[in-house]
Structure 1
Amino acid sequence: MKRLIATGLTALLATTGIASAEGVVNLYNWGNYTSPELLTKFEAETGIKVNVTDYDSNDTALARIRQGGHGFDIVVPSNSYMQTWISEGLIVPLDKSVVTNHGNIAPEWVDVDFDPGREYSVPWQWGTTGVIVNTSVYDGDINDAGLIFSPPDALKGKINVIPEMSDVMAIAIYYAGGESCTTDMEVMRKVRDTLVEAKTHWKALDYGTVDAHVAGDFSAGIYWNGATMRARLQNADLAYGYPKTGYPIWMDSATVLADAQNPENAMKFINFILEPENAAMISNFARYANGVTGSEEFMDEVMREAPEIVVAPELAAAGKFSPACPQDVNDLQSQIWTEVLQ
């Protein structure tokens, strides 16, 4: 969802300065998640310039668009938020006369629960949320959420947790023996107590921490697989663990906003990223898999057998696709999360 949050690689534009003119499309996306090479190629082929503005969470993006007056054309929500975007009329159906590459979406990513038939969205990237560990500091089993929720002495005070509620809550609920969107109050009390106690052993709750993990400022954390791979390629001591008790699988998808000022250009960009070679550019940059058929042949060799991408069979079954939870469940999780953040 997801992602690697950073500043400087993409233009963080003031909303009053976002252009809305012919030859422009304004993309609102997770930070450091958009390939500069992709943007250069799109502009060269179409003459359309892409302005990119970063956000750091699904909640941030949703709140900004709800306010209106933003000037953005495209946004990239995660699957568990997609039905909210659709039901509130914030995004529009794809124009299939422009999005002619719709058939390139891999079959398994077409009839998805969050957007049946892909009427509103196309795949951007998909991945998992698990545990990053510096194996020079801790050499035990890394496929364990307990490293974060009941950390060994070697990791105490050296842990960073991404402040993305849905991901952290999911891992904590699975760790407590519950299932996604549970209303079991005994499980949720255990989740609350676990998180509040665990936080006393955390050093930070931050998004943009690839450099910090590489430098050894953190020794463990909850993190996304692609961001972990980017860190591991710079520091071989870093490894990605898949919690045996359960971990979330997610997909971020590109959509066109209902109040887009450049809707046709937005549809052209949506169509562009469904070209296999272009989808591979996004994966090669952000280090996540995508949902476009034929993109694999254009991916960097290092992606094809990366442990952050290829899940061992014995751990694959613990992955669970993140659903959209009912409002009462979201409210309960938000209440717990607010207490954790205090």
Structure 2
Amino acid sequence: MQRRAIKYSQFGDPREVTELITETISTDLEPNRILIRWLASPINPLDINKIQGVYIFQPELPVIAGTEGVGRVVKVGSSVIRVAPGDKAAIYAIQSSCWADYSVVDESDIVKIDQRITPIQGATMMVNPPTAWLMFKKGELERGDWIIQNSANSGVGRAVIEMAKEKGYHTINIVRDRSNIKELKDELTRLGGDIVWTEEEVKTEGRAFKGRPKLALNGVGGKSCLQISSLLGRGGMLITYGGMSKKAHEISTSALVFNNITAVGLSNPPMMMIDGENADEYQRMLSEIQDMYIRGVLHPPPMDEHPLDNYKIAITNSMDGKHAKQIFVMEEEKQSKL
């Protein structure tokens, strides 16, 4: 069968090395393989880094781009038991190829999801909400505990706010100053954020704040990491899950020495194993996240939707940092209303 896909054959600037191709793929499936029709797939920072060739895990070239997405199962191999034709399935795998109409994937790389989950929800539920969920677990939080985070307007940051509210945690949310800062503060407060400060306001408001967070979540690095680590309470934990500033992570010396804080890193791919020792916890986490989506407690971040044909615009917008999150919504999905 014919499929369209966004492909790259060399590492480099994603705006230059990617191309939209049409190619033939076989539908004669090996026993453990699945033919899936993609419904939606976002552009994540990880996708950009993979194409640039700077991500820690590099795919073999040439390769179809895309790491996270949701699709409809079309056909399954003879030994597949996890899903059946017609099921919705989500994927998050370093070697996945979901910037396409169709792909053939391993059963071990996908998970069946509730039919009530929308394509936008399903396409963005495998990275950001699990990252928030895992950081809460690692921080050993209890109801009433405080969290401070930078990058509060990111996909992870928004998931932290909404999921923390649901679990009874309080959040201090740090964002960069901007022309529409009042609107952003109001928006994050509506999501459930208790406090929203700019990086400049932390310098004054942070000193005056009497509470001491138990957990600091760092997705930025640089001076921003220094700010949030300095506000941790005694025995608090700093978790770094990203470095959007591309600067070294700075940590408060006084917090390390006198407050005995712990600094750790977190990446969710080791947890994203459907089989193995984490299987039960993995399924419990995904069930909890899906339930929050269905109940309207958790929402995807604001997104700009694009067909595959608009891939150059979508990638450019994703890289310039001035737009909402970019997501490919396949044309067939809009037509079929699946």
Same fold (TM over 0.5): no
TM-score, length-normalised on structure 1?
0.30
**Larger RCO of the pair (alpha carbons < 8 Å, separation 6+):** 1
TM-score, length-normalised on structure 2?
0.30
- Looking at CA atoms only, which structure, 1 or 2, has the larger radius of gyration? 2
Higher strand fraction (1 or 2): 2
